[in-house]
Amino acid sequence: MKDFGTLITVLILTIFLNSCHTKDRSNENSIVIDPMLASEFVPLSEFVDDVQFIKLETSEESIILNAKEIIIKDNFIYVIDITLKAVLIFDKKGKFISKLNKLGEGPDQYRNLGPVFVSDDESTIEVIELMGSKSKKLIYSIPDFELLDVSSFDTPFSNSWRKNGDLYYFSAQQIENYVNNEPTNAAIIIRNDNNQLSALFPKNIEKGGSGFSPFTESFTQNELNETFISLMYDNTFYQLKNKEAIPLMSVDFGSYAIDHSIGTLSLERQMEYLSAEIEGKASFPVLNFHNSRFTAFSYYYKQNGENLLHQYIKFNQNGKIYHTKSFLNDFTTFPNEVYLSSYFLAINHEIVYKDFLVDIILPWYSLNGEKEMEVEGLGLIQAEDNPIVMLMKLK
């Protein structure tokens, strides 16, 4: 089951993915999107050379109940499980290595598992308690989890987070937090290493004690450590530099755009609008990845009462664009579809690792109601198995 915290109600809209070509009507700072031009599907072989899988070991010790985030590094794969309040570590072949599982009141324990950050050299892991102003930051060694340091750490409530240098970025969207003792529904809250908070895109709305976000991952970071964020009710993607949000590019839905002014109204009014008044509208674009090689984003399009996830990828070298409803896997018999989304099924992850695109396969979902399936190269796949990391080598 999904547990997103008592103060955050994350709305995951019904998703069906598909894929396609569209005319390049974009320029450097604005991309014009007509949802009706999204093709029904695109075969993965259009831009992928080969695929490989990392099947995360499923055992009594390594079972994953509810992965909130999967981080792929050079040495290990880190799975943050918000039900177990633990971090599971697997090697690059999927073998279970160890588990950080120190929930408790002891001096080397955390009372709640919030944001997790792994150092670039994979020597340490930071665990932030999600206890608001009473939070702590605990730093453990990898892979033996010896406590190296503990300090107070005022932690905003958010749906996702990134670290860049000594700055921590929290995507609060419109979750209520306190900055300088003042309540705010600011979209971004920034924390420096001196425990000082600052806010970007501040606003105050009637919340009724709850929160909502149509996506669970707002950030993406590329190989240059450039950090980008997508915001609710804002079709512009931003690059975060120090304590500024600098516009990168915008998505122009034209007549298909929703009314963004609804974001200044009460949460109750927002939910009414999104439930009843956006049929045939496109909404909530999220930048899934951006570097000099390509740009990828996704958005929702409501059709016949369902919110369908459309995807867009543009490759800069050859200028090819794929604007689609579904990417079909034409390399293997499993899975049938691939989701190049950083938040699909509420598992946050970067969709790029080195020269590979990344999808996280949940067997229970991709088996389409079947209990198990024999797959060449993967063996027997069962619905209760741990996630499978799918790596797609780009052409």
pLDDT, position 322: 98
In whole angstroms, what is the distance from residue 168 CA to residue 154 CA?
A: 11
Q: What pLDDT digit, counting tens, does each position of 213-225 carry? A: 899 999 999 999 9
pLDDT, position 209: 61
Rounded mean pLDDT of 125-152?
A: 93
Q: What pLDDT digit, counting tens, does each position of 298-341 carry? A: 999 999 999 999 999 999 989 999 999 999 999 999 999 999 99
Of the candidates 203, 117, 206, the one whose C-alpha atom is nearest the C-alpha of residue 160 is 117
**Domain locations in the chain?**
30-394
Q: What pLDDT digit, counting tens, does each position of 88-106 carry? A: 999 999 999 999 999 999 9
In whole angstroms, what is the distance from residue 237 CA to residue 286 CA?
A: 8
Structure tokens, 206: 């009637």
Q: Please report, rounded to a whole number, the percentage of residues in the chain having pLDDT higher than 90.
A: 85
Q: DSSP 3-state assignment of 84?
A: coil
Q: DSSP 3-state assignment of 365?
A: helix
pLDDT at 2 over 90: no
Q: What's the CA angle centered on 45, arms 39 and 51, to 5 degrees? A: 125
Any residues with CB less than 8 A from the CB of 375 and at least 6 apart, and which?
A: 332, 333, 334, 381
Q: What is the largest CA-CA distance in the chain?
A: 59
Q: How confident is the model at residue 133 (pLDDT cuts 50, 70, 90)?
A: confident
- With a threshold of 0.95, does the pTM exceed it? no
Q: What pLDDT digit, counting tens, does each position of 156-178 carry? A: 999 999 999 999 999 999 999 99
CATH architecture of 30-394: 7 Propeller (2.130)
CB 364 within 8 A of CB 358: no
Residue 172 has what DSSP assignment?
Answer: -
CB 311 within 8 A of CB 327: yes
